[in-house]
Amino acid sequence: MEQVNAKGTDVIYLDNAATTFPKPESVYSFADTFYRSFGGNAGRGGNPLAREGVRLLNETREHLALWLGVNSPENIIFTPSATEALNLAILGSKLLSGDTIYVTPFEHNSVLRPIEYLRQTLGIQVRQIPFAYRTYTCELDKLFAAFQAEAPAMVCITQASNVNGLMPPLIEIARLAKSANPRTIVVVDGAQTAGLYPLPFTNDLIDAYIFSGHKSLYGPYGAAGLVLASSWRPRPLLFGGTGTVSESVQMPTRLPSAYEAGSHNIWAIAGLRSALQWLGEVGRDTIIEHTLALSHQLQDKLREVPGVEIFAPPSSTSWCGIISFTVDGIAPQAVELALGAKDIAVRAGLHCSPWVHEWMSTKELGGTVRVSVGYFNQPEHLTQIEKALLDLVS
């Protein structure tokens, strides 16, 4: 599929961790067609357009449940973004002053900032889950001791780092947390990898799982959410019309209406519905094999560039293929600009994840250059970035 920039020339897009691009052609087509033909307000009335919106919502929820491995589609709550879903899970958690939240060093600011708000306003304690720098492995023995000394009220774990692609052993961490405190709320940020690496949602180890429609699901912006994977329920953050139980001024208690106040973004949900169909046709194994093969090839090419230091887990560690690197003597932002001048799209900086850059000792450097391939990338794209970097350092 062709990738073009604003000037109409070919662009090599290698920033799929920010958003996958391009989308499958069917996503553009179906979203546009549905919105033009059936763009009514879902659930608001019994007219044909409103009913068609409800049908689309239900279909999308069912297909998403199948793709994620969720038994109850109604436990999937749509939100406009993964950020809002994380805020719902964290700020709606009913934590008390003195409670302790554990987080990995790899969390996004969409996790760190609501937690910091709770620290400042509520007096919660924040602890970092220990990881060994050289091996990228979670030090589970130290974590076990920490949990025993200070039991967790909440644990937040990213399924995959948006900076270096590390996939922490979240099931092992969740199991330790629940052992130390059965009431621990386990929140998993699956924005980077939702559906590509299914998780067990039937053993009550995960309470809230967050997904982003515009990343690994290859859909548009505006459709994201969370899976309520246990009996735990957060306090709603938004109150308003749901199209259900309209005779009451109280929010409905039945899922998913209890958390879906306001009109749905039917255009984005239509695009997500089409993306899920495309994903089912292509298959997760095909997508994973293609992207990981390219990521390994890219690592090999980056090693051929003088002065490049790669920040990615070793092969023995679970990894989704995201790579960060620095170039000796050149600021990451300068590398990004140089590549951009050659129509190669990457991202430089802290990537909204400051703690991982502290952990990797790259924060003072201004962060790293991040390269993240997607399903529509090809080997020749890697050759082009290698050539551009060799020209830059020569």
> What are the structural domains of the chain?
12-16+283-393 (3.90.1150.10), 30-280 (3.40.640.10)
pLDDT of residue 8 exceeding 50, the answer is no
- The C-alpha atoms of residue 324 and residue 336 are separated, in whole angstroms, by 12
pLDDT score recorded for residue 3:
55
Complete edge-to-edge strand list for the sheet that includes strand 323-327 = 308-311, 323-327, 368-371, 347-349
Percent residues over pLDDT 90 in the chain: 80
pLDDT of residue 39 exceeding 90, the answer is no
Name the band, by pLDDT with cuts 50, 70 and 90, for residue 162. Answer: very high
- Quick one: which of 322, 313, 324, 316 has its CA closest to 295? 322
Q: Amino acid letter at 190?
A: G
Q: What is the pLDDT of residues 74-130, one digit of tens each?
A: 999 999 999 999 999 999 999 999 999 999 999 999 999 999 999 999 999 999 999
Q: What is the pLDDT of residues 305-343, one digit of tens each?
A: 999 999 999 987 899 999 999 999 999 999 999 999 999
pLDDT of residue 291 exceeding 70, the answer is yes
pLDDT of residue 7 exceeding 70, the answer is no
CB-based contacts of 299: which residues, under 8 Å, 6+ apart?
A: 310, 312, 323
Name the band, by pLDDT with cuts 50, 70 and 90, for residue 43. Answer: low
Burial of 219 (0-12, 13-18, 19+ CB in 10 A): buried
Give this prediction's pTM.
0.94
| Mean of per-residue pLDDT scores for the chain | 93
pLDDT score recorded for residue 147:
98
